[in-house]
Structure 1
Amino acid sequence: MKNFLFTLLFCITASVTHGQTKLNKYYPVEDVAVQKKLNDWRTLKFGLFMHWGTYSQWGIVESWALCAEDESWCKRENPDYENFKRDYVALKKTFNPTQFNPEKWANAASKAGMRYMVFTTKHHDGFNMFDTQLSNYKITSAECPFHTHPKADVTKAIFDEFRKMDFMIGAYLSKPDWHNENFWWPNFATPDRNVNYNIERYPERWQAFVDFFHGQVDELMTNYGQIDILWMDGGWVRPLTKGQQRLINFINGLFLKSGYTQLHVPQNQDLRIAEMSKKARQKQPGLIVVDRHIEGPDENYLTPEQFIPDRYIEDPWESCITLSGSWAYMPNDVYKSSREVIHMLCDVVSKNGSLLLNVGPDPEGQWAPEVYQRFDEIGEWMSINGEAIYNTTGRKEFGEDQERYTVNKDGTVNAFYLIDENETHLPKTIIFNQLKVRKGDTIRLLGFNGKLNWTKKRGTIQIQVPEAEFFKSKTAKYALVFKVVKQHSVQHTDYKMQEAELY
């Protein structure tokens, strides 16, 4: 019986604490202003994510080395945890990114074809990259050498520069705060990522943390211009369902009756997000709220992390994926090629999603040269083929192997041929298996002004690849886009109606 209860409790703990590997059921947005902004966001398709903090000085994983869990991403070089934590917190006193140039970042991201951005105003370690008045653990603290810089409030400077480039602005904010004594109380050890005291026993302490979190959201909504997206991370900080709470209480009761002490179990870490969202939207009407992995009305779009779903998804979603091998800056990191990023983007958009591509600035406030190189190359491709990415939807028959499809609002179909890195020469004929063209429709190759020859054969469309200087360009090394223009196209206005039929 004891083993059974331990197993049951472990399963509950895993489901509550460690998040989910599958996408949640989606709850449609009811607020009209949020619906409009969400529909506007869904047309943008390509965004920039940035993880940046004091941890960049050591070139280590963001925040997680502070966590005492025995996970690969929590490893630290210094095995003495207390000394490590002391030195980590002291990084605030040496953080001085004097080469910080948000205008350069915004220009590069815009050139790459990105149209929205999300910046980490605070990660789990609790170090604030904005001028909060609720904590002195921040980049604008007098103890941080960067505080005298004209752009010491890096969040404000970043948002201002990207807003000038017409980006939608997203503020990442961690729900857990491992520096805040009302989340990790110094009176107790910190066994894992969760609050480390009994919330039912110390409700005033948890209330203080809820007030702190709401207060920081209010600061961002009040002092940082127009914010379009509030992107909250730390999905293990969540309210328990009534069923989970009853079951946990029942199991604990059985253990207590058997003479065991009460176990450390998942708690009702309720930040009252619905209340917070309502207050935030009073200052930022239409604000998109992303309470990651928490199924319900405050998860305005879904966020698969480091993977692309294997199917078309009608609901709004975004894959957040790193350009390098890590979220934060690490020396000698390995970066994905421009081809990989373009293929990811085509894959995501064909399945009706958006791609949020992450870059980690270094301790000086710079991006690695590889980032600018990739962004330049991606931008060249987007300058020709962007019309097949922006303002499109995917479709259920999204493609197979090297073919992908998107659909424009007027009903035209874009057929992508993803060029493999081993294809030193393009095939003379490109075959699309999931494309049909009706009599009177035309096919054109984006970036090519000549006429295309194509035929229907055994249920496929076979397009002859012309010999042209165009195919010697960089843009032809990643993916080709063939636009099928219907003889009679129909303008769609409702996003859910934009999925085209398989012609």
Structure 2
Amino acid sequence: MYKKNKRNQLFTALCILCASFLQAQQKYQSPVAENTEKVASGKFKPTWESLQQYKTPEWFRNAKFGIWAHWGPQCQPEQGDWYGRFMYDEGGAQYKWHVEHYGHPSKAGFKEVIKDWKAENWNPEKIVALYKRVGAQYFFAMANHHDNLDLWKSKYQAWNSVNVGPKKDIISGWAAAAKKQGLPFGLSVHAAHAWTWFETSQRSDKKGPYAGIPYDGKLTKKDGVGTWWEGLDPQELYAQNHPLSAGSEQSITSLWGQWNWDNGASIPSVEYCENFYNRTMDLINTYKPDLLYFDDTGLPLYPVSDAGLKIAAHYYNTNMAAHDNKLEAVLFGKVLTPEQKKCMVWDVERGVPDQIQNEAWQTCTCIGDWHYSRAIYDNNGYKSAKTVIQMLIDIVSKNGNLLLNIPVRGDGSIDDKEIAILEDIAKWMDVNKESIFDTRPWKIFGEGPIAETSNPIKDAGFNEGKASLTEKDIRFNQKGNLLYVSVMGAPSEDIIVKSLGKAKESRKIKSIKVLGSNEKILWKQNNDSLAIAKPKVIPNAIAVVFKIQY
């Protein structure tokens, strides 16, 4: 009898557990309504299986190098990335700076930073023209960040750059500048995570004169009577009328382990998901971007909602309709499964795979902090042109593209040190760009000390800068009957290329030249290696490219 009752109890508990799991799954897969923004009909349906029909367009595989303006109100304080989250972290550097310059976050929150942002010196035509001269083959602008401010005249978000802050349609300005320069135009969308990202605005100080007084994350529209933001609802910006995620109150970094909506993240409401869906659909329909970047694991809000799947299907279908039934769109996601890599282009943040990838992919990185940092400028902390170019060569050798952010100041300008770096990149590109654009990987990506060292990426990326490339490191890529051999630095002695010995390379070499030089290069192909005499003239010490013709 005891065992029977025990079995019945176990069976009942199992049924309850299964029912709870099914209820959780139903909640976890909240479908968004298409009441105002409908998914365009076409080849692609909002399922992972259908999205696997995607093929990366050749124009993107040829482009190799893009430049990004990851710019918004968080650049105004010049205190670096994630300011809108960290300014609510009591005792942190950005919190202290904010209290000193804006006031306590119970009175002056992130909305006051938005008010302060004027973009008074912004000249998008001048900036994009410079980027094209440097060698960018596509241009990206940030449409919104985790701070939830839309940078266009958004139909579904009253907190937008036309209504507040600079009172300008930022995306329209960037789009016009890109079109004038003939550059494909990309938009990055980060706002899916405002739900958890802004949870710090629900906090309050634990000590001092403001202890226990809530920050401004719980304010509502009625609290704005008589203020500069009267008529606006702070909850549309902060989205904080919900319980906190697990660990949110204790740790500023708890969000990092919950980025893909597991491990205790507070689950967004259906209304929040639908608002994100409508905003992004409006963005796509208004600007018809050539490239679309999501700062999300897989697709935004997946698997909480089907919003991301519907957005992806709509984006592909509308792009095909605009290009005579040929898909020319490029969509990016992070931390993708092998199946998801067939649906879109894999983006690796601040990192590079250590092997050639079968599918086209992209690194996104920055010469400094994602949002402008005065400290990085003052301390000469930017990546050098040498670092950027050597990263680009390495990335291209592995079938990837590089998207490089140049931090823009709050006023809309880029600083003198950034311009100097860009000019140095342009000098190298002027001589060596044929070894980058329109190329494809060779049978191996390279040889030398770093090529023989494992450097796996972690989560979304984050493995750059762990080893320095030297003249002993060589990278390969090809174009037709041409092989480009890039030496990472100015060679101090003859160059020995083991992979091009007769035992491994059966094709007959007709000639070897150095890009940017008319010097006659002496070389000999031995059984175990190709020996190239050190050139007398080094066109650019960042990297020397040997052009081998078969």
Aligning the two structures, in what range does the TM-score lie when normalised by the shorter sequence? 0.7 to 0.9
Instruction: Look up the SS of the partner of 2:363 in the other structure.
Output: strand
CA distance in 1, matches of 2:489, 2:524: 21
Correspondence for 2:364 among 309, 315, 320: 320
Confirm or deny that 1:177 pairs with 2:202. no
TM-score, L = length of structure 2: 0.67
Structure 1 gap segments, 5+ residues each = 1-15, 17-25, 241-267, 421-425, 487-503
Q: CA 1:239–1:104 in 2, change beyond 3 Å: closer, same or farther?
A: closer
Moved more, 53-62 or 385-394: 53-62
How far the C-alpha of 1:456 sits from its partner, in A, is 2.5
Confirm or deny that 1:447 pairs with 2:516. yes
Q: CA 1:289–1:85 in 2, change beyond 3 Å: closer, same or farther?
A: farther
Give me the CA root mean square deviation: 3.5
Moved more, 282-291 or 107-116: 282-291
Confirm or deny that 1:119 pairs with 2:141. yes
Instruction: Look up the SS of the partner of 1:364 in the other structure.
Output: coil
Confirm or deny that 1:292 pairs with 2:345. no
Matches within 5 A, 1:332-351: 332-333=375-376, 334-351=381-398
Which residue in 2 is equivalent to 1:76? 95
CA distance in 2, matches of 1:28, 1:465: 53
Letter of the 1:126 counterpart: N
Correspondence for 1:467 among 507, 526, 536: 536
Confirm or deny that 1:160 pairs with 2:195. no
Q: CA 1:221–1:338 in 2, change beyond 3 Å: closer, same or farther?
A: same
User: Is the contact made by 1:328 and 1:359 (CA closer than 8 Å) also made in structure 2?
Assistant: no
User: Is the contact made by 1:320 and 1:358 (CA closer than 8 Å) also made in structure 2?
Assistant: yes
**For residues 72-110 of structure 1, what are the alpha-carbon distances to aligned partners after superposition, in whole Å with 9 as ceiling and x for unaligned?**
999633698981684212112111111101111111111
Which residue in 2 is equivalent to 1:498? none
Which residue in 2 is equivalent to 1:230? 292
**For residues 430-457 of structure 1, what are the alpha-carbon distances to aligned partners after superposition, in whole Å with 9 as ceiling and x for unaligned?**
2222224643521111112232111124
How far the C-alpha of 1:236 sits from its partner, in A, is 8.8
Structure 2 gap segments, 5+ residues each = 1-27, 29-47, 199-234, 249-253, 321-326, 449-471
Letter of the 1:404 counterpart: I
Letter of the 2:289 counterpart: I
Letter of the 2:295 counterpart: D
Instruction: Look up the SS of the partner of 2:349 in the other structure.
Output: coil
Instruction: Look up the SS of the partner of 2:174 in the other structure.
Output: helix
User: Is the contact made by 2:385 and 2:421 (CA closer than 8 Å) also made in structure 1?
Assistant: yes
Letter of the 1:467 counterpart: K
How far the C-alpha of 1:485 sits from its partner, in A, is 0.8
Matches within 5 A, 1:221-300: 221-224=284-287, 226-235=288-297, 269-285=304-320, 286=327, 287-295=329-337, 296-297=339-340, 299-300=343-344
Instruction: Look up the SS of the partner of 1:313 in the other structure.
Output: coil
TM-score, L = length of structure 1: 0.73
User: Is the contact made by 1:62 and 1:123 (CA closer than 8 Å) also made in structure 2?
Assistant: no
**For residues 35-82 of structure 1, what are the alpha-carbon distances to aligned partners after superposition, in whole Å with 9 as ceiling and x for unaligned?**
2x5322111111112221111121233335526998999963369898
Letter of the 2:296 counterpart: G
**For residues 444-483 of structure 1, what are the alpha-carbon distances to aligned partners after superposition, in whole Å with 9 as ceiling and x for unaligned?**
1111223211112461111123434xx3xxx421111111
Matches within 5 A, 1:45-444: 45-63=64-82, 65-66=84-85, 76-77=95-96, 83=105, 86-141=108-163, 143-144=164-165, 146-147=166-167, 152-174=168-190, 175-178=192-195, 181=236, 184-186=239-241, 188-189=243-244, 191=248, 193=255, 206-224=269-287, 226-235=288-297, 269-285=304-320, 286=327, 287-295=329-337, 296-297=339-340, 299-324=343-368, 326-333=369-376, 334-401=381-448, 402-419=472-489, 426-436=491-501, 438-439=507-508, 441-444=510-513
Aligned length: 409
Letter of the 1:389 counterpart: I
**For residues 384-437 of structure 1, what are the alpha-carbon distances to aligned partners after superposition, in whole Å with 9 as ceiling and x for unaligned?**
1111111112235211233433333313210011116xxxxx424222222246
User: Is the contact made by 1:352 and 1:395 (CA closer than 8 Å) also made in structure 2?
Assistant: no
Instruction: Look up the SS of the partner of 1:208 in the other structure.
Output: helix
CA distance in 1, matches of 2:348, 2:372: 21
Letter of the 1:184 counterpart: A
Instruction: Look up the SS of the partner of 2:194 in the other structure.
Output: coil
How far the C-alpha of 1:166 sits from its partner, in A, is 2.4
CA distance in 1, matches of 2:50, 2:353: 20
CA distance in 2, matches of 1:230, 1:303: 11
Q: CA 1:404–1:460 in 2, change beyond 3 Å: closer, same or farther?
A: same
User: Is the contact made by 1:349 and 1:389 (CA closer than 8 Å) also made in structure 2?
Assistant: yes
Instruction: Look up the SS of the partner of 1:161 in the other structure.
Output: helix
